Amino acid sequence: MGWQVYILECADGTFYTGVTDDMDKRLEAHRQGRGARYTRGRCPLAVVYQEACCDRSAAQKREAAIKKLSRLQKKCLIERSSVKGS
């Protein structure tokens, strides 16, 4: 599918934003505690947002922009997307 930026919703209601070129593999890594340190111990995790990017650099730039958004802005972004849940 190519590179994409994603947002996970953790069991405690917080959001984690990351990039990947294989969403299924990355989500499984998060769920097994091999993903980001932030998501360890915060399972279950749900993919609430995905956005395709043309390459890794574009995905990382978009990730940085999303991470600067407030929680409310992230919730609005998620609500406008068509991906809800995993």
User: In which band, very low, low, confident or very high, does the pLDDT at 10 lie, cut at 50, 70 and 90?
Assistant: very high
Q: List pLDDT tens digits, range 19-73.
A: 999 999 999 999 999 989 999 989 999 999 999 999 999 999 999 999 999 999 9
* Token pair in block for residue 9: 């919703």
Is 86 in a helix, a strand, or coil?
coil
Q: What is the pLDDT of residue 1?
A: 64
Per DSSP, 11 falls in state T
Give the burial string for 23-52 (b: 16+ CB within 10 Å, else e).
beebbeebeeeebeeebeebeebebbbbbe
Question: 4-80: which CATH topology?
Answer: GIY-YIG endonuclease (3.40.1440)
Name, in order, each residue with C-beta under 8 angstroms of 26's C-beta and a sequence gap of 6 or more: 6, 18, 20, 35
Q: Residue ranges per domain, the chain?
A: 4-80
82 φ, ψ (degrees, to nearest 5)? -95, -10
